[in-house]
Amino acid sequence: MSDVFHLGLTQAMLEGAKIAIVPGDPARSERIAAHMDKPKFLASSREFTSWLGYLNGVPVVVCSTGIGGPSVSICVEELAQLGVRTFLRIGTTGAIQPHIRVGDILVTTGAVRLDGASRHFAPLEYPAVADFACTNALYNAASALGIKPYVGISASSDTFYPGQERYDTFSAKIYPAYRGTLQQWQDLQVMNYEMESATLFTMCAALGLRAGMVSGVIVNRTQQEIPDEATIKSTEEKAISVVIKAVTLLNS
Ligand SMILES: O=P(O)(O)O[C@H]1O[C@H](CO)[C@@H](O)[C@H]1O
Ligand SMILES: O=c1cc[nH]c(=O)[nH]1
């Protein structure tokens, strides 16, 4: 019998884990757990696939969030009910700055709140900022692995198509409020688009939880719209190695 509504998890299953790695894609959970000692499948329910593993003897839970703010908010709330206090998201992303290349790693310090769910935790004036210790750990983890990440702001959108100003859609129509926004965020030095950090950062800051985010660039929107399948896995693996190292730094 589960202790929470959606995740299919009990407190006992988490073996005291206080830290969670939260990818979007359920299939990524197992690949992340494979980097840990004693990886164990826990549950799969809707978009939430969870595994448990150990890093230097410390239990770490991995649980996918699915796509977008509403499901992130459920994942974080229910893991927090089970005792988790620190959340590191590892995602894929689309860069919007021309100099950022496919395969690069981004550490997000703050998010533009283009979501709806974060407004259920705090008004729009409240910033969507990452926890400093988590960001520091992600940056230092990347550096220790010989990776120089870009560090800065992400635009975090509820929608993949209009909210990220994609015209390669069946209608090619975008509501006026979103036309020209890619250029606007680019001018404002935003690094990239993704879909979860606004909710994750806002709710965690508001609730006294810690959150950070690392992502791997699978497409650069100034150059292409469709990612090259061949590079996705290696980019994800690079970002996974950063998040694993960051957990060991946070636990040391
Ligand atoms: O690769 P994940 O972690 O799912 O992250 C990104 O990919 C999905 C969109 O394709 C969104 O969830 C976005 O944030
Ligand atoms: O362009 C992209 C790529 C991945 N995920 C997003 O949300 N946008």
- Evaluate whether 233 touches 100 at the Cβ level (below 8 Å): no
For the chain, what percent of residues have pLDDT higher than 70?
100
- The band of 22, judged by pLDDT with boundaries at 50, 70 and 90, is very high
Q: Is 193 in the pocket of ligand 2 (CB under 6 A)?
A: yes
Q: What is the pLDDT of residue 224?
A: 95
Domain 12-251 is classified in which CATH homologous superfamily?
Nucleoside phosphorylase domain (3.40.50.1580)
* Phi, psi angles (nearest 5°) of residue 248: -65, -35
- The band of 7, judged by pLDDT with boundaries at 50, 70 and 90, is very high
Mean pLDDT of the residues in the chain = 98
Report ipTM (2 d.p.).
0.99
Calpha distance 166→59 (Å, rounded): 40
What ligand has the least distance to the C-alpha of 192?
2
Q: What is the pLDDT of residue 106?
A: 99
What ligand has the least distance to the C-alpha of 67?
1
- Site of tokens 């690094």: 191
- Evaluate whether 31 touches 223 at the Cβ level (below 8 Å): no
Give the residues across from 151 on adjacent strands.
Answer: 107
Report CA-CA distances (Å) from 212 to 12, 108, 152, 155: 25, 7, 12, 15
Calpha distance 151→134 (Å, rounded): 13
Q: Which of 71, 192, 223, 236 to mutate to test the pocket of ligand 2 (most atoms within 8 A of CB)?
A: 192
pLDDT in tens, 46-88: 999 999 999 999 999 999 999 999 999 999 999 999 999 999 9
Alpha helices in the chain (DSSP H): 26-33, 69-81, 132-144, 181-187, 197-207, 229-251
Q: What is the pLDDT of residue 196?
A: 98
Q: Is 25 in the pocket of ligand 1 (CB under 6 A)?
A: yes
* Distance between first and last Cα of the chain: 34
Q: What is the pLDDT of residue 221?
A: 98
Q: Is 150 in the pocket of ligand 2 (CB under 6 A)?
A: no
Q: Supply the DSSP symbol for 176.
A: G
Structure tokens at 210: 């810690």
pLDDT in tens, 193-210: 999 999 999 999 999 999
Q: Is 47 in the pocket of ligand 1 (CB under 6 A)?
A: no
| Model pTM above 0.95 | yes
Calpha distance 178→145 (Å, rounded): 38
Closest ligand 2 atom number to CA of residue 195: 7
Q: Write out the catalytic residue numbers.
A: 6, 78, 166, 221
3-class SS of residue 61 = strand
Structure tokens at 86: 């620190």
